[in-house]
Each structure stands twice: as structure tokens, then as C-alpha cells.
């Protein structure tokens, strides 16, 4: 809802990636609680870090300006 209010554009790939990361985080959190293993907890922490990094890469890409594919090879 916040994205609609502020007119933030999210393409299909960006939205799908965010949903996949969020769902994987939920599954891994449940596994961490059930298994009680340190390795799954560490994997959960890395996955929780992946979500803001996914958005940060998008911001960096937008700050870079428009992608002009015709001038790359010159």
C-alpha cells in the first residue's frame, strides 16, 4: 500500500524476488525453531539480510540512470 501511495514502481521481477525471499525466510524460521540447529539460524540471518540488500541493489540501479544499451560497446 505504501508503494501505491508514494508511486514507487516495482517491476515484476523485483516483486517476485522479494516474495520468494520473504517466503523462504518464513520457511527457514520455522525450520530453525523446529530443528534448533545453529546452522539453520545462521542461514536465516543471511536470508534476512538478503531482503534489504535486494532492495538496495534496485536503488543503486535506479541511481545509475537510464540503461542505454546502444552506447555500451563504443
Domain ranges of the chain: 27-57
Check: CB of residue 44 under 8 Å from CB of residue 28.
yes
Per DSSP, the three-state class of 72 is coil
Q: What is the distance between the alpha carbons of residues 36 and 39, in angstroms, rounded to a whole number?
A: 9
Judge contact between 54 and 17, C-beta under 8 A: yes
DSSP H helical ranges for the chain: 2-6, 12-35, 38-63
Q: What is the pLDDT of residues 33-66, one digit of tens each?
A: 999 999 999 999 999 999 889 888 878 877 876 6
Check residue 3 and give its pLDDT.
61
Question: How far is residue 74 from each of residues 7, 61, 68, 70, measured CA to CA in Å?
Answer: 35, 21, 12, 8
Amino acid at each position: 500500500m505504501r508503494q501505491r501511495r508514494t508511486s514507487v514502481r516495482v517491476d515484476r521481477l523485483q516483486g517476485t524476488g522479494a516474495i520468494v525471499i520473504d517466503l523462504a525466510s518464513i520457511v527457514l524460521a520455522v525450520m530453525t525453531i523446529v530443528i534448533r540447529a545453529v546452522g539453520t539460524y545462521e542461514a536465516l540471518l543471511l536470508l534476512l539480510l538478503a531482503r534489504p540488500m535486494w532492495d538496495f541493489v534496485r536503488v543503486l540501479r535506479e541511481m545509475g540512470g537510464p540503461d542505454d544499451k546502444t552506447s555500451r560497446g563504443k
